[in-house]
């Protein structure tokens, strides 16, 4: 019965792309608690994504199933700001750091002291946040602006990074599945993070508890490649 119901949930989400927990409970004539348990199981299997009281199907052939940046800013914002604050201890004068276009890194950028560091990023909001700092040397990846995620997509990223020695790559991701694989919501963001993860001397993953045991559209790496994690739960 449970397997049939969960298959029905996957089918409904593939038809509607996104449905609320209430809607799924009504459509399948079960309680919201039952739907929540089913969605947790399906998310851990990498079949659906849960957020903001609703669920959506994962469509890896589309290459982008992520929420807009404006919506991600509001999700678990208190936890993200606290995680970002803890990450500040990793940053020292003279470092070259890279930041991804995640909302958690945006919270980090807002809290960064105006010290003598270089910051490389593909994030438009982070560029705006750091643009007025006098001592931070800001390096933007440039490229085509992807408005939904507020990031720049640059196919010349690898050649651009040849002149930079990245001391620390700070990033977040869509999820970590039960096997330790790191996932993101779009192919272009996953590619950016994969390149920086392989080239940086150290890496720091900022991730809140909602991201564990879930997957996404594009695999960017594995937990074994990450130097350390800052989270609101213990991941290791």
* HSE-up of residue 187 (Cα within 13 Å, Cβ side): 7
Predicted local distance difference test score (pLDDT) of residue 213: 85
- State what percent of residues in the chain have pLDDT above 70: 90
pLDDT tens digit sequence for 122-168: 999 999 999 999 999 999 999 999 998 899 999 889 888 888 999 99
pTM score: 0.75
Degrees, nearest 5: CA angle 178-186-196: 80
- Write out the two tokens for 94: 């003279």
pLDDT tens digit sequence for 14-66: 778 778 999 988 988 899 889 988 888 887 777 777 776 888 776 655 555 66
Predicted local distance difference test score (pLDDT) of residue 203: 98
Element (H, E) at 96: strand 96-99
In the predicted model, what is the mean pLDDT of the chain? Answer: 87
Burial of residue 131 (number of CB atoms within 10 Å: 0-12, 13-18, 19+): exposed
């Amino acid at each position: 019965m449970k397997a049939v119901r969960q298959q029905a949930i996957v089918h409904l989400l593939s038809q509607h792309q996104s449905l609320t927990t209430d809607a799924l409970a009504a459509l399948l004539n079960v309680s919201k608690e039952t739907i929540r348990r089913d969605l947790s199981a399906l998310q851990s299997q990498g079949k659906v994504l849960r957020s903001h009281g609703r669920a959506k199907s994962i469509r890896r052939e589309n290459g982008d199933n992520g929420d807009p940046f404006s919506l991600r800013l509001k999700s678990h914002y208190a936890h993200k700001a606290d995680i970002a604050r803890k990450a500040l201890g990793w940053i020292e004068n003279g470092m070259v750091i890279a930041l991804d276009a995640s909302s958690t890194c945006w919270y980090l950028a807002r809290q960064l002291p105006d010290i003598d560091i270089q910051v490389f990023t593909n994030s438009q909001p982070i560029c705006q946040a750091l643009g007025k700092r006098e001592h931070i040397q800001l390096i933007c990846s440039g490229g085509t602006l992807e408005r939904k995620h507020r990031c720049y997509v640059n196919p010349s990223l690898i050649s651009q990074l040849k002149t930079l020695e990245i001391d620390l790559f700070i990033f977040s991701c869509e999820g970590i599945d039960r096997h330790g694989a790191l996932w993101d919501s779009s192919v272009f963001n996953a590619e950016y993070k994969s390149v920086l993860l392989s080239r940086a001397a150290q890496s720091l993953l900022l991730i809140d508890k909602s991201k564990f045991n879930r997957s996404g559209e594009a695999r960017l790496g594995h937990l074994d490649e990450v130097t350390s994690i800052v989270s609101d739960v213990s991941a290791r």
